[in-house]
Amino acid sequence: MPFTLIYTSRALKDLENLSRAVNRRIVMTLERLAEEDDPEWSVKRLQDSPLYSLRVGPYRVILDIRREKITIFVLRAGPRRTVYRDL
């Protein structure tokens, strides 16, 4: 059963600030992730946090996966060096 992707306003703003090619690459990767039966296999859990990080080349996407609601919340997206700030 596919997961539903929900983008926060912050994530949408982050994606707008990236180039069109990078934006498209991240969105396509997220759509593939949502189609998986168990998306937790494709992401890395953040240390001491309920959140996950998805690697898309030099970029990271911060996610909150809710299995009981079959939902993936996209919280942040951006370059690795800045995306983990203010979590």
| Per-residue pLDDT reduced to its tens digit, 21-52 | 999 999 999 999 999 999 999 999 999 999 99
Domain count for the chain: 1
Residue 12's CATH number: 3.30.2310.20
Residue 83 to residue 10: CA distance in whole angstroms: 11
Cα–Cα distance, 72 to 66 (Å, whole number) = 6
Residue 28 lies in a domain: yes
Q: Which two tokens stand for residue 68?
A: 């009981």
Would you say residue 86 lies in a domain? no
Per DSSP, helices labelled H in the chain are: 9-16, 20-35, 80-83
Q: Say if residue 18's pLDDT is above 80.
A: yes
Per-residue confidence (pLDDT) for residue 87, from 0 to 100: 79
Full residue range of the structural domain in which residue 37 is found: 4-81
Is 16's pLDDT higher than 80? yes
Rounded CA separation 42/29 (Å): 10
Does residue 87 fall inside a structural domain?
A: no
